[in-house]
Amino acid sequence: MSITQRLNQIVETLPPEVTLVAVSKTKSESEITEAYAAGQRIFGENKVQELVRKWEVLPKDIQWHMIGHLQRNKVKYIAGFVSLIHGVDTLRLLREVDKRGAQEGRIIPCLLQVHIAQEATKFGFDKAELTQAMDIIDQGELSHVQVRGLMGMATYTDSAPQIRAEFQYLKSLYDTFQTGREAFDTLSMGMSGDYLLAIEQGSTMVRLGSSIFGSRNTA
């Protein structure tokens, strides 16, 4: 199947309230252009340099999402154009995004990444840290970021019950923090291997790479 066929098939089966981020990391400009021609406008990248290079050469109505781990010293390169940063995993990083947003005269939409997997390697806030971060955000001093919701990655496992439980936990946190916060409307969970479970558990945004573009040589 072609990129267009795979993309169309996925788009047809997604519930209308679920936003698709086409994860184009490691993929060429021509592969991205094929998905663009099929109507896709939101693309996700996980490396700053690659994101900047693709933003420079590809159509300007693409909304670029930074989905990977973001180092504070690289925020400045994407602050002027990025549409959503999924992986804000510390307050220090959020403050840096706020500072760069101010310099660019923008309010930068962000998601706070929550650690829900059993693997020690995945980044993110735990519940206590998240609560603390939301308290600080609610004080309103960070005026150039807008926290739109949460993002999480489930454990890489074949166990559907485990993945389901991790997504359910993230959804429960999302529901808790959504109460009374109008702009808090995005729950980014689900990748190619687990997005159906994620949607079942209330995801509003899925990040799909290999199911659209085929497998990557390097991840």
Ligand X SMILES: *Cc1c(COP(=O)(O)O)cnc(C)c1O
What angle do helix axes 29-37 and 3-13 make, rounded to 10 degrees?
A: 50
Is 170 a binder of ligand X (CB under 6 A)? no
Is 122 a binder of ligand X (CB under 6 A)? no
| Rounded least distance, CB 208 to ligand X, Å | 5
Whether the CB-CB separation of 22 and 208 falls below 8 Å is answered with: yes
Candidate residues 24, 46, 201, 204; the one interacting with ligand X per rule CB under 6 A:
46
Is 152 a binder of ligand X (CB under 6 A)? no
By beta-carbon proximity to ligand X, the closer residue of 162 and 210 is 210
Handedness of CA 8, 13, 16, 18 (dihedral sign): negative
By beta-carbon proximity to ligand X, the closer residue of 43 and 142 is 43
- Interatomic CA distance for residues 19 and 190, integer angstroms: 11
* Segment contacting ligand X by CB under 6 A, of 35-43, 93-101, 175-183, 201-209: 201-209
Candidate residues 134, 191, 197, 198; the one interacting with ligand X per rule CB under 6 A:
191
Whether the CB-CB separation of 36 and 62 falls below 8 Å is answered with: yes
Candidate residues 74, 192, 196, 202; the one interacting with ligand X per rule CB under 6 A:
192
Distance between terminal CA atoms of the chain? 21
Percent of the chain that is helix, strand, coil (3-state, to 5): 40, 20, 40
Is 210 a binder of ligand X (CB under 6 A)? yes
Is 23 a binder of ligand X (CB under 6 A)? yes
Candidate residues 109, 124, 152, 209; the one interacting with ligand X per rule CB under 6 A:
209
Is 67 a binder of ligand X (CB under 6 A)? yes
Is 208 a binder of ligand X (CB under 6 A)? yes
Cβ neighbours for 90, distance < 8 A, ≥ 6 positions apart: 125
- What is the torsion angle, in degrees rounded to the nearest 10, for the CA atoms of residue 145, residue 115, residue 183 and residue 110? 30
- Interatomic CA distance for residues 41 and 32, integer angstroms: 10
Is 66 a binder of ligand X (CB under 6 A)? no
* Segment contacting ligand X by CB under 6 A, of 57-65, 92-100, 119-127, 208-216: 208-216
Is 14 a binder of ligand X (CB under 6 A)? no
Question: Given the rule CB under 6 A, which residues bind ligand X?
Answer: 23, 25, 46, 67-68, 191-193, 207-211
